[in-house]
Amino acid sequence: MSRWANALPNREDQLETKRRAIIREAAKVFSRRGVHGTSLEDVAERLGVSKAALYRYVPSKQDLLYACHKEAMVIADDSLGAAEAEGQTGLEKIRRGMARYMREMIGTMGVPVLILEENALTGAQAAEIMRLRDAFEHRMRRLVEEGIADGSIVKINPKLAVFTLLGAVHWVTKWYSPDGAWSADDVSEALIEVATRGFAANPESELKASLKG
């Protein structure tokens, strides 16, 4: 019989939980100080652990930065996956997915400016993150094409639509403050509404419906 009847996470799961906590806290430190102005000592201090303890989970600053970028892509993929399951039209899936992505990125991860600093990565790690980003962008383009087909999105170049939307979303990390008057929910819902109205087939009727709700 397994110890505690599997009611407690095993050692491997505990280590992964701690590693993800480190990654998310590191993203917040990178955001405040910038990638080049942040050291592993800064991250260790934020977590209240020694640098040696931190090395158990991430062997270098470069590896930590890479892990932060991968975590962002996990959030992006999970957000879009949930939207694809819940949304009815291409436009609705895009709006749901990107709003959820924004809430996680500027809420849970603390406005990770580092997603705009992918040039800090090098070699195989940089190539892997670019591959994941390309796959996500192609997934978004397919939703634009779906929206064009179902009539929720006007005829537009899918690549241009996706780049415009992602540009607006990621630039939020440059000006949003968690200590400001707007919550992550407020900003994500409002910005995605504004950013997608340009290619929505019936923006006025959708806006009236949302105001009634």
Do residues 72 and 128 make contact, with C-beta atoms less than 8 angstroms apart? no
CA of residue 32 relative to chain centroid, distance: 17
Question: b/e per residue, 36-47, with b = 16+ CB within 10 A?
Answer: eebebebbbeeb
pLDDT of residue 205: 59
From first to last of its 213 residues, what are the pLDDT tens digits of the chain? 445 455 546 666 677 777 777 777 777 777 777 777 778 888 888 878 887 877 777 788 888 888 888 888 888 999 999 999 999 999 999 999 999 998 888 877 665 556 666 677 888 988 999 999 999 999 999 999 999 999 999 999 999 999 999 888 888 877 877 777 888 888 888 889 889 988 999 876 554 444 333
pLDDT of residue 35: 73
Do residues 162 and 140 make contact, with C-beta atoms less than 8 angstroms apart? yes
**Gap between the Cα atoms of 108 and 112, Å rounded:** 10
Do residues 169 and 102 make contact, with C-beta atoms less than 8 angstroms apart? yes
pLDDT of residue 118: 67
**Gap between the Cα atoms of 95 and 80, Å rounded:** 9
pLDDT of residue 155: 95
Do residues 43 and 22 make contact, with C-beta atoms less than 8 angstroms apart? yes
Question: b/e per residue, 166-189, with b = 16+ CB within 10 A?
Answer: bebbbebbeebeeeeeeebeebbb
pLDDT of residue 210: 43
pLDDT of residue 156: 93
CA of residue 210 relative to chain centroid, distance: 25
pLDDT of residue 211: 33
